[in-house]
Structure formats: structure tokens, C-alpha cells
Structure 1
Amino acid sequence: MESKHLEQFFEYITAQNIEVYNEFSLQHELGIFLRTTLPQYKIQFERNVSYFGISETVKKEIDISIVGDKDRYAVELKYPTNGQYPEQLYSFVKDIKFMEQLKEQGFSKTFSVALVGDRPFYEGRDNSGIYDFFRESRIVRGRIYKPTGQLKNSGFIEIAGEYPISWRLLGDRRYFIVEI
């Protein structure tokens, strides 16, 4: 499994005019595509990390697990459709951390994928705080503080690596793929 398979998926849904309208449809259309493209792998949805003998992670369920005889991969997906930009961006960060943790626990490769339809996710006047990672510098790294709620500016996620965010066009939407 390579990031090129995820790129091919976005090309495929565009070419085939497949409607992806929420996160659930994104997950299932990608799963169907991967089953067709990678028949040698077992494609599973919402698999608990405990199935893989893993316990301490920021999340418990993997959106899509791709399991082969000797290797395994994970994909976390986000397709926010109800605004909440700072919180959703923080969820993107949480997914990246989760994928780091799975990679540290023996996954061959992991991927965080986000598809968005609203411009404030990737550009706007306020490029400070959480927005900086997705709009201005476009590199997710280091300590990233929770932007809203009770834990605002005190709760945080520590990202070990550095992950460039490269927004790509998909009709009137944009997406990124982060490989860990």
C-alpha cells in the first residue's frame, strides 16, 4: 500500500463521477476501491487497536485497516461538513498523532487523509495558532495546543515528526494525504 493508491482513489471518484458526500461515504468508497485495487489484502472498517495488540493510543478505532500476510497499514479519514474549523483542524492533528502511534507499534505505513469543502480549512485572514499548520507554514509538527473549549491553550498533542500539508484540488473541494 502506497500513498499513490490514495491519489488514484481521488482520481477514480472524479473520473467515475462517484458522489462522496460525507465521511461515511468517503470511508466506504475508499474501502471498496482498495478491495478492488489490492485484492491480496484484507480491508477492514473501524477495527479496534486491541485487535492488533495495541492499547495506548489517542484513538481506539482505525477507520480503514489494510492487512496482508507480512504487513499492515492504517488510514484515518476526515471529511468535516459542519464548520467548527479550529476543532476540526485539531482533529486532523489528532489523526496524525494516532497514525504516528500505530507506526511506532509495527504498522508498515499509516496515512491521514482529509477532504474539505470549505475554504477556511486551507486559507483565511487568521493564520495564527492551529490555522498556521494548515494555511501558512503547512507543516504539522511539535506541540499543538487545543484551540477551543475548557482545555484551550493547555491541552495539547505532541507530534514527533514533521508532516507537510499539501492541499490538492478535487473539483470544488480540497484534500491532503499525510504518510507516516
Structure 2
Amino acid sequence: MLDLENLIREFFYHLEKNKSEIEIYNEFSFQHELGIFLREKLNHKGYQIRFEINVRCFGYEPKETYEKKEIDIIVRSKHNKNELYAIELKFANKTNGQHPEKMFSFIKDILFMETVKAQCKEFIENYCVTFVEDDKFYTGRKIDGVYAYFRSGKEISGKIEKPTGDNKFTISLRNSYKIKWEELSDKKKFYIVKV
């Protein structure tokens, strides 16, 4: 079994060390660079990296309109079809704005990974990885509501309501999760949540 969490962490330190050569500027570039890194590390160990694979390929049909359908990155064993790992990614910087909405989307990724793990039995470990270049995601005056999960260490669990907008709805998580920000340079931070 892979130690994928530490490989993902290693990617961020590789990114810091090579920041003059590797630039992350949106979610696609994040997905692309992490995928390249994982392929370089794992291809010779019998693993394949796949991008944007629809969950229908694994027999799951999303029921809610807000549910995601594609998994950002899948790490797949070439030798064991029942050894799959899913990674959902989020990237945010100052140009994104809408902090409470983006924070809620971070939580929706956790729900998606819970659902994939429950519905698609081939997945043995799933991860949500978020990379931010904006300190408003982890600091600020507001520490209630959705902000509490990312700014003050409140455990993410149970029912969570979409914080803004007309289309309010609630999602329910099966398990509990705690966001542990890891610091990079220039107000950049990331977290890895194992689902």
C-alpha cells in the first residue's frame, strides 16, 4: 500500500524548492503539476496516474445536482485492480474571493471523497488537498460558521449548510475531520485530509 499522504506533502516541498521553475496559478496547474510529480515517483513502482475520471466508471451514479462527477486524480495499481486512490484538489488565491463559498466547496470535496469511498469499493484511500495563497482562508476576524473549520480548528462533522446565496442546502458528512494547515512561504498554506 502506498504512503500517498507523505508523497503529496513531499510535492509541496518540491514546489517550494523549485518555485522559480514550477508555478501554480489555478486549479488546473495544481492538478497538472501534482500529477506529473506523482507519475515521476510512482510509474516505476507499478502505479498509473489518471485525471478527471467520471465516477460512473466505478458504478456510482450521482444523485444530487451539487455532487461532483469527476475525480481530479486517481492513482491506480497496474497489478491490482482493487487498489485505487482518489485525490480531490482545490486551489485558491486572492483573485478567487468569495471565501465562505470557497470554504464550503472545500467541505463538499470531503463529502465527495466520502461518497466515492462508500460507493466505489476499489478505492482504499481518498484525499482532499487544498492549497491557498490567501491568508483570509486561515486567518481573519470571523471565526464562526464555515470560517470556524478553517480559521479556528473546529472539527468538520455532521450537517453543514451552504453559507451564502439563494440556493441554500445542507450536506451531511459521515465522519469528522480537522483541518491542519501546513505552512509554506509567502502566506501559502496547504492541508491534506485523509478520508
Question: 2:108 matched to which residue of 1?
Answer: 94
**Is 1:178 paired with 2:193?**
yes
Identical positions, percent = 45
Question: How is 1:1-180 mapped onto 2 (pairs within 5 angstroms)?
Answer: 1=2, 2-17=4-19, 18-39=22-43, 40-56=46-62, 58-68=67-77, 69=80, 70-81=82-93, 82-105=96-119, 106=121, 107-152=123-168, 155-172=169-186, 173-180=188-195
1:133-169 deviation per Cα after TM superposition (whole angstroms, max 9, x unaligned): 11113421111110011134xx111111111100111
1:110 partner amino acid: N
- Aligned residue pairs, count: 178
1:174 partner amino acid: K
Instruction: Find the residue that maps to 1:160 and give its secondary structure.
Output: coil
RMSD between aligned residues: 1.2
Gaps of 5+ in 2: none
CA distance in 2, matches of 1:15, 1:139: 32
1:27-83 deviation per Cα after TM superposition (whole angstroms, max 9, x unaligned): 000000111111111211111111112213621000001111230011010002311
Instruction: Find the residue that maps to 1:141 and give its secondary structure.
Output: coil
2:28 partner amino acid: F
**TM-score scaled by structure 1?**
0.94
Gaps of 5+ in 1: none
CA contact (8 A) 1:134 1:140 kept: no
Structure number with the higher strand fraction is 1
CA distance in 1, matches of 2:155, 2:34: 25
1:95-126 deviation per Cα after TM superposition (whole angstroms, max 9, x unaligned): 00001111112210000011111111111111
CA distance in 1, matches of 2:134, 2:160: 22
1:43 partner amino acid: I
Structure 1 runs of 4+ aligned residues shifted over 2 Å read none
